[in-house]
Amino acid sequence: MPSSDEAELSRRLAAMTLKEKVALLTGADAWTLTPVASAGLAALALSDGPVGPRGTSFGGDTPASLLFPSPTSLAAAWDEEAARETGRLMGARAREMGIHVLLAPTVNLHRSPLGGRHFECYSEDPLLTARVAVAFIRGVQSAGVAATVKHFVGNDSETERMTYDARIGEATLREVYLAPFEAAVREAGVWAVMAAYNSVNGRTMTENHRLLTDVLKGEWGFDGVVVSDWTAARSTEATALAGLDLAMPGPDGPWGDALVAAVEDGRVPMAAVDDKVLRILRLAARTGALDGVAAVPAPAVPDDVRDRLRALAIGGSVLLRNDGLLPLRATELRRVALIGPNAVRFAAQGGGSAHVTPEHVVTPLEGLRRVLGEEAEITVHAGVFPHAKLLPLPAGLAADPETGQPGVRLEYRTAGGGVVTAEHRDPATWWFPIVLAEEVTELAVRARLTLTESGLHRLSVLGTGQHTLRVPGQDDQVHEQLQDGDDIGALLLSPPSHTFAFTADAGQVDVEVLISPQRNLPYPVTLVGLGYAPPRGTDEEELAAAVEAARAADVAIVLVGSDADTETESLDRAGLALPGRQDELVRQVCAANPRTVVVVNAGAPWLMPWAREPGALLWSWFPGQEGGAAVADVLFGAEPGGRLPTTFPATESGVPILSTQPVDGVLDYAEGDRIGYRAYRPGSVLFPFGHGLSYTTWEYLRAVVVDGAVEVTVRNAGDRPGREVVQAYLDEGGELRLAGFAALEAAPGQSVTARIDLAPRTLSRWAGDGWARTDGPYVLRIGRSSADLPLTCTID
């Protein structure tokens, strides 16, 4: 906004009463702010998140939106233009949904591969993170929607996320963890920053005056809004004085009347409140929520948006190994065995607040069908069943036993067994959240199931409390699952689940799930979901059937990985081994058919002790709604554009920073700047940072320094057009630091010169109280990954 409009914002501020001002500083509800007619301010709407705008609701009634590839996939493209396009498309979709503020991107770093939100962050490297984030933010904001860079700062893992104190030395903070935020503010001019739950160096981030006011707003000149992470504001004065501008969610919170009183008593100066309001008005002006201030014209979501999502997913796919099996040729395949848990339950996204409901997810089977047509036979076998949670009970399988309507009946009961109220629910989604009145002691879900097969049926219950499954003629089965209460996010986003099994013949059976909700939580809400799985063979039978199918096929395509329950907010992972018997499945299929491709469908690194066994190994990430099409495209010849944005370890014991467990509430970043590829010992790496194959081969010819940039000439030495990501690392006495990168495309035989602009900070380090140039000469190593650097050049 031009600076002359600042006077106009001040005029509007002056028209507001103290009560109106303070009312604006806490959400009117979970996602919107209070409109202020006297200031011409509409209700600003905020929405998650990093894989696409979800809208202003959460849970079962979430409207369909666009589901983008996971941020790890976007970072894997090493492509600022792809990041800008992603941001712009999300901005366009947000405008359609009436969203002013998108709660993305997440720029915390991959400090430990166990981090639950790893898939939602970009990289272990601050420079790659910053480059992707800056381009993404520019894209979002070009659509007139605010980006919110989060979580400021030190929220690189989830264990005790509400309270841990990240102890980070000043140089490490500046050079590593603050660097992407600084780039977002100074280079991209981001309009909002989210203050994290955790503390840094002894101060919780929503009260961290030094980082919010001195560094962010002072040194970096941030003129946007600092919003709390949801429920992260836990005090009145300390947060108000530290530089927090907006406490979310509302309508309750630590500000409201308490802040009005603090201002009236002189404990919080009026100027502090005015500054916050002014920032929100500025945000509104930027996002079209202030009447009389023209909004940026809303870009249309293009008709071919699905093709673009597919291209983005291809661009992030990383071909880790290829013995020449890929690309496959459709004309040579008559029988294809599609195998693995993720072939049957394809994971298009991770879990948590980033979750988006797409209209449709293209599965790998659909993707393969599009390529292969109806001619080839495709057999599908899960083989193993590693999922902690079952898929939602299909509405068509259940009916309300009283009305016969498809769905289930939910009754709220008192201690005496009386029914306070009853409602009809669609079991195909979970119910979120259910507000519990004092008198309600039990919830009962009643359903008439129409079973199409006889055998052992599985029914799972999601949520906390004591759960009883009642099937006529069978003993009641009881299970209790409780959760810690201080993180409502954990309660609602990662609820526990238990699977009951019962035997029944095909036909109708009336079942009841009785729930005594956990009541000792700080929130009078609960959440319920039902899952179901039909009868199947024993684990041994299912595994053997998958291996048999592989043996009989022209090619076996195995999809293993994780899902939105395993990689999710509020929980770090317990280990890096793929869940269940997936390793065994891969090994047996590879032994049965040498023409086996393994596709790993996961947002974060997992161990692959069998990595040398398949004919080819492709990493698809969580590739978004068009992911199944993108996987098939790459298998059949689309150039896999991706390079690893994070190191893939060979073993858990070789991971330099594995634990995310605070000790007595403290998470000590004692390793300093030595995370990721800067810390791994060579033998402990399975696939290095920056690694990824192309379908062609490349020769690195020369590198020269010209005007502060490096010009690198490479030649496509293969017989197909391809894309290469040229990477430059500063060699600091044997230790590498990414200094810049550039992607290029070349036809067979063609030589192309890429220009890598070196980031201005590359040659500087934080020295006590400011940035200082390090001593030259500087040695740059150039190549195709952090472990394959054939060219060297020196800057004097």
By rule CB under 6 A, what string of x and - marks binding of each residue 378-417 to ligand BGC? ----------------------------------------
Residue from 229, 245, 411, 567 binding ligand BGC (CB under 6 A): 229
**Residue 567 makes contact with ligand BGC by CB under 6 A:** no
249 prior amide bond cis, ω within 30: yes
Q: Which of residues 665-684 bind ligand BGC (CB under 6 A)?
A: none
CB of 402 to ligand BGC, least distance (A): 36
Residue carrying the six token digits 């070349």: 746
Query: Nearer Cβ to ligand BGC, position 67 or 338?
Result: 67
Query: Nearer Cβ to ligand BGC, position 102 or 365?
Result: 102
Give the C-alpha separation, 98 to 45, whole Å: 7
Nearest to ligand BGC by Cβ — which residue? 353
**Residue 49 makes contact with ligand BGC by CB under 6 A:** yes
Kindly write down the DSSP assignment for every residue of 617-685, as one continuous string: EEE--S--TTHHHHHHHHHTT-------SS-EESSSTT-SS-----BTTEEE-TTTT--GGGT--GGGE
Nearest of 462, 541, 468, 545 to residue 511 by alpha carbon: 468
Query: Nearer Cβ to ligand BGC, position 103 or 216?
Result: 103
Contact partners, residue 716, CB within 8 Å, separation at least 6: 696, 697, 698, 722, 724, 746, 747, 748, 749, 750, 751, 752
Q: Is the Cα dihedral 532, 538, 544, 548 positive or negative?
A: negative
Judge whether 69 and 318 are in contact, CB under 8 Å: no
CB of 211 to ligand BGC, least distance (A): 17
Q: Find the helix or strand (DSSP H, E) in which 306 lies.
A: helix 305-316
Please give the angle made by the CA atoms of 328, 330 and 336, to the nearest 5 degrees. 80
CB of 147 to ligand BGC, least distance (A): 12
Residue carrying the six token digits 């810690």: 484
Question: In this structure, what token pair is assigned to residue 686?
Answer: 């399975």
By rule CB under 6 A, what string of x and - marks binding of each residue 447-486 to ligand BGC? ----------------------------------------
What are the residues facing 469 on neighbouring strands? Answer: 477, 513
By rule CB under 6 A, what string of x and - marks binding of each residue 479-498 to ligand BGC? ----------x---------
Query: Nearer Cβ to ligand BGC, position 49 or 91?
Result: 49
Residue from 230, 346, 636, 741 binding ligand BGC (CB under 6 A): 230
CB of 103 to ligand BGC, least distance (A): 4
Query: Nearer Cβ to ligand BGC, position 48 or 411?
Result: 48
Which amino acid, residue 439? E
Q: Is the Cα dihedral 118, 787, 668, 171 positive or negative?
A: negative
Give the C-alpha separation, 741 to 692, whole Å: 14
For 21, phi then psi, to 5°, come to -65, -50
CB of 446 to ligand BGC, least distance (A): 32
CB of 184 to ligand BGC, least distance (A): 15
End-to-end CA, the chain: 42
Determine what percent of the chain falls in helix, strand and coil, rounding each to the nearest 5.
25, 30, 45
Please give the angle made by the CA atoms of 151, 86 and 63, to the nearest 5 degrees. 80
By rule CB under 6 A, what string of x and - marks binding of each residue 68-107 to ligand BGC? -----------------------------------x----
Give the C-alpha separation, 146 to 94, whole Å: 10
CB of 11 to ligand BGC, least distance (A): 32
Write the Ramachandran bin of 55: left for phi over 0, alpha for psi from -120 to 50, otherwise beta: left
151 prior amide bond cis, ω within 30: yes
CB of 488 to ligand BGC, least distance (A): 8
Give the C-alpha separation, 780 to 793, whole Å: 5
Query: Nearer Cβ to ligand BGC, position 55 or 640?
Result: 55
Is 715 exposed, middle or buried (CB count within 10 Å of its CB: 0-12, 13-18, 19+)? Answer: middle
Question: Does the annotation mark 426 as catalytic?
Answer: no
**Residue 53 makes contact with ligand BGC by CB under 6 A:** no
Kindly write down the DSSP assignment for every residue of 368-401, as one continuous string: HHHHHTTTSEEEEE------SSPPBPPGGGEE-T
By rule CB under 6 A, what string of x and - marks binding of each residue 568-607 to ligand BGC? -x--------------------------------------
Residue from 22, 33, 45, 48 binding ligand BGC (CB under 6 A): 48
CB of 49 to ligand BGC, least distance (A): 6
DSSP 762: G
Query: Nearer Cβ to ligand BGC, position 48 or 567?
Result: 48
Please give the angle made by the CA atoms of 197, 171 and 707, to the nearest 5 degrees. 115
Query: Nearer Cβ to ligand BGC, position 49 or 561?
Result: 49
Residues in contact with ligand BGC, counted by CB under 6 A, come to a total of 9
DSSP 70: P
Query: Nearer Cβ to ligand BGC, position 386 or 662?
Result: 662
CB atoms < 10 A from the CB of 444, how many? 18
Q: Choosing from 48, 79, 229, 572, which is the catalytic residue?
A: 229
Residue carrying the six token digits 């409901």: 357
Distances (CA, A) of 716 to 123, 689, 701, 702, 711: 28, 22, 11, 14, 16
CB of 150 to ligand BGC, least distance (A): 6
Judge whether 47 and 103 are in contact, CB under 8 Å: yes
How crowded is the C-beta side of 789, counted as CA atoms within 13 Å? 22
Query: Nearer Cβ to ligand BGC, position 249 or 358?
Result: 249
Query: Nearer Cβ to ligand BGC, position 61 or 735?
Result: 61
Residue from 70, 72, 199, 353 binding ligand BGC (CB under 6 A): 353
CB of 185 to ligand BGC, least distance (A): 18
CB of 194 to ligand BGC, least distance (A): 7
CB of 390 to ligand BGC, least distance (A): 25
Q: What is the CA radius of gyration of the chain?
A: 27
Query: Nearer Cβ to ligand BGC, position 150 or 498?
Result: 150
Residue from 118, 150, 467, 784 binding ligand BGC (CB under 6 A): 150
Q: Which of residues 355-374 bind ligand BGC (CB under 6 A)?
A: none
Judge whether 206 and 239 are in contact, CB under 8 Å: yes
Query: Nearer Cβ to ligand BGC, position 542 or 567?
Result: 567
Indicate the length of the chain as a whole number. 796
Q: What residues act catalytically?
A: 229
Residues of the shown chain interacting with ligand BGC in the complex, contacts defined by CB under 6 A: 48-49, 103, 150, 229-230, 353, 489, 569
